[in-house]
Amino acid sequence: MADDALPTGIYESLLTRDLLARLSDLRAITADVPEGQQASALGDHVGRRVTKALAALPPAERVALVNALLTGLDGERDDIEPGPQQLMSVARQEQPGVWTLVDTRPAVPLSRPALLTNSHTDPKLGAELRAELATADRVDLLCAFVKWYGLRVLEDQLKDLKQRQVPLRVLTTTYMGATDRTALDRLVRDFGAEVKVNYETQSTRLHAKAWLFRRHSGYDTAYVGSSNLSRAALLDGLEWNVKLAGSHTPELTGKFEATFDTYWADPAFVTYDPDQDRNRLDQALAIAGGLQERGTVTRTISGLEVRPFPHQEAILDRLQVERETHGHHRNLVVAATGTGKTVIAALDYARMPGRPSLLFVAHRKEILEQSLRTYREVLADGAFGELYVGGDKPDRWRHVFASVQSLSAAGLQRLAADQFDVVVIDEFHHAEAATYRRLLEHLQPKELLGLTATPERSDGLDVRSFFDGRTAAELRLWDALENDLLCPFHYFGISDATDLSRLDWRAGEYSTSDLENLYTADDARVRIVLKELRDKVLDPARMRALGFCVSVKHAEFMADRFSAAGIPARAVSGATSRDDRADALQALRDRTVNVLFAVDLFNEGLDVPDVDTLLLLRPTQSATIFLQQLGRGLRRTADKPVLTVLDFIGQQSRQFRFDLKYRALTGASRSGLERQLETGFGLLPSGCELVLDAVAREVVLDNVRRQLKLSRKELLHEVRSHGDLPLADWLQEAGRELADVFRAGSWTGLRR
């Protein structure tokens, strides 16, 4: 290679006459400098030339040079080409007719520094690292711990490093026992990395977290900040990282490399060999993990005060304002699953003087038992309350936790309308059911409190009508995730090649028997589910998963096939006895069973925080059901960094609507959802990822675009299906926009 030959790689150099001449025998990509960057790019170019010239002169002559700028900087004429343009990438001919041009690049220019905060306005660190890895010629990583959930979002680029024989060096520690050994094993075995570990367990000297990407072109970059190789580092909103540009601040990237080399040579960092060192690493991680703070203290009825979290305190304050300032004594609290609705209700009750009489209503015994335990914990009173469900009947009838079925069966006329000062209705979206409506019409408490995560119902009714259309306090899934109250999710939409388009579609759903026959006809879909599960889950033998099925037969079919494949599974449904359900949940917690396949059982109300994986095996367009199912895995636990959701997507009926559940998940309008599908969902809450495979993406995108072009006939069908609603309510319940109505004529015309 000649001394003046340009190394291959990516660039951001202004195209000058001299540079253009050096490219005469090369294949290159050029592009116009964006108008907004032209002043900076031109100024930087001039600045580098001036700095070089000034540095070569004695101090006394430097002012004279500056004064001579208008007639030439250094006596060499190298005019910038019109445009102006900048060199973006260079490749050489590998063999006759074969050129390899790479122009993958991060969103932040190579030559510019930046602060990345992982906010919705910044490029996500994970996406930037994927682009940097694609064009790096050497990579160094310094981090306190390495997690599988961080590694897997960079997997393709790390494989490419190995294929291109790019050196990758990693320095890490056993800090807090947080490193996943499997992640280090894969770094060494699958990605060809050299890994060194500091096994110190008594203290942690290494808190630096940084990446360095070296390039033959000279356009080195580095990221320094709070980011380990973990899910939180790459995705969460409170991780800050400064991007350094070697062409802008070469002294910083030079110091980075020199310091890293010093650590690399330090005997405290020992080369990791998966075959020889795994026991030593496991032992060190176990010891270090024992030093980890476990977070919140588990409180019992020992008298310790249960204090609300800040988001719960805000809701309690809101309830107080509604009652004392606005005189509203019928209030609805909408809070995402996992944010502690029952705790809020118990704390709200605890603030009322004199322990007034209480009726807490739910529709399932497990929910009532959990709620009673919560009230006893909050009130520090192990004797508080009585159950009225199944064979349990109250004696004192002052603080009753009752099922709506028991109350109805006994006859509401036996209860005085004012017998209870406070009535709390859990899962209030059921209130439109006849049993709930009769109860609400009969009772006249001083305070009525409704609790729900989803006030909107798939049948178009809205339970806010019981509260004059008001919501006293609201904390939706989107906000709960943004505020780090719930476990973030990695959602994978996977095409399963199942054709549902010819199945009977009525009243917004498929025939259950048709789905059951299709899904249990053979093992083709099961093989896809098993393959994707093993690909997306770190260790299926350690997971705790729920699978949502269409029928009992489908659940039993899936449990049988999974067990035969070496993944212990059981089927549960509403017909399963209470003892068998409790035994199944305990088996899931103990990991003697890895999957429970459920039918209309775990959609709501039941607290199963250990669940870390969801298998969505039944099609649903209901945003309510979708969010309820998602909520089963969103509760935080100490050893669950992320909820993995595998949604298996087939070819759907033309009437099926993907937009309803994805809009509920992302908060986007339908047109906004189309843009997010096209660009890869870059605006999700911090820590969350939504990835559709190529086929699933096209299925969903085609469906959403068709919904944007809804025919008048389809719109009439949808207006009719939601009953007698005014325009504003219909727009909200149907997830439609005013433009949909105007394209079809008018609202009055549609109603007629």
Range name among 98-102, 402-406, 562-566 with the lowest pLDDT average: 98-102
| Residue 630 burial class via C-beta count within 10 angstroms: exposed 0-12, middle 13-18, buried 19 and up | buried
Q: Would you place residue 285 in the very low, low, confident or very high pLDDT band (cuts 50, 70, 90)?
A: confident
Q: Would you place residue 61 in the very low, low, confident or very high pLDDT band (cuts 50, 70, 90)?
A: confident
Q: Which residue has the tokens 């609300």?
A: 308
13 three-class SS: strand
**What span, in angstroms and rounded, lies between the C-alpha atoms of 649 and 696?**
6
Over residues 173-179, the mean pLDDT reads 84
Higher pLDDT, residue 305 or 172: 172
203 three-class SS: coil
The runs of H, that is alpha helices, within 217-273 are 231-235, 250-265
pLDDT score of 466 more than 90? no
Which candidate, 230, 231, 214, places its Cα nearest to that of 222?
A: 214
Contact 684, 666 (CB under 8 A): yes
Contact 421, 446 (CB under 8 A): yes
Complete domains list, the chain, with CATH? 9-99 (no CATH), 114-289 (3.30.870.10), 310-475 (3.40.50.300), 483-709 (3.40.50.300)
Q: Would you place residue 298 in the very low, low, confident or very high pLDDT band (cuts 50, 70, 90)?
A: very low
Helices (H) and strands (E) in the chain, counts: 28, 29
The confidence score (pLDDT) of residue 278 equals 87
Can you name the residues that pair with 194 across neighbouring β-strands? 169
**Residue 218, phi-psi category: left (phi > 0), alpha (psi -120 to 50), beta (remainder):** left
DSSP state of 140: E
Which candidate, 77, 73, 32, places its Cα nearest to that of 50?
A: 73
pLDDT score of 525 more than 70? yes
Q: Which residue has the tokens 């580092």?
A: 233
What's the CA angle centered on 85, arms 80 and 91, to 5 degrees?
Answer: 110
The confidence score (pLDDT) of residue 375 equals 94
Which amino acid makes up residue 462? D
Return the sign of the alpha-carbon dihedral for residues 606, 611, 617, 619.
Answer: positive
**What span, in angstroms and rounded, lies between the C-alpha atoms of 640 and 224?**
26
**What span, in angstroms and rounded, lies between the C-alpha atoms of 667 and 669?**
7
**What span, in angstroms and rounded, lies between the C-alpha atoms of 96 and 106?**
31
Q: Would you place residue 151 in the very low, low, confident or very high pLDDT band (cuts 50, 70, 90)?
A: confident
**What span, in angstroms and rounded, lies between the C-alpha atoms of 328 and 447?**
9
Higher pLDDT, residue 344 or 660: 344
Q: Which pTM value belongs to this model?
A: 0.60
Q: Which residue has the tokens 């996992």?
A: 338
The confidence score (pLDDT) of residue 282 equals 87
Which amino acid makes up residue 465? S
Range of 116-120, 592-596, 620-624 with top mean pLDDT: 592-596
Indicate the helix (H) or strand (E) that contains 444.
none
Q: Would you place residue 544 in the very low, low, confident or very high pLDDT band (cuts 50, 70, 90)?
A: very high
**Residue 628: HSE in the Cβ half-sphere, 13 Å Cα cutoff:** 22
Over residues 257-286, the mean pLDDT reads 89
DSSP state of 299: P
**What span, in angstroms and rounded, lies between the C-alpha atoms of 444 and 10?**
73
**What span, in angstroms and rounded, lies between the C-alpha atoms of 27 and 12?**
16
The confidence score (pLDDT) of residue 163 equals 92
pLDDT score of 301 more than 60? no
pLDDT score of 130 more than 80? yes
Which candidate, 286, 254, 299, places its Cα nearest to that of 140?
A: 254
Task: State yes or no: cis peptide before 84, omega within 30 of 0.
Answer: yes
The confidence score (pLDDT) of residue 743 equals 61
Contact 188, 273 (CB under 8 A): yes
Return the sign of the alpha-carbon dihedral for residues 512, 518, 519, 521.
Answer: positive
pLDDT score of 69 more than 80? no
Backbone φ and ψ for 724, nearest 5 degrees, come out as -90, 85
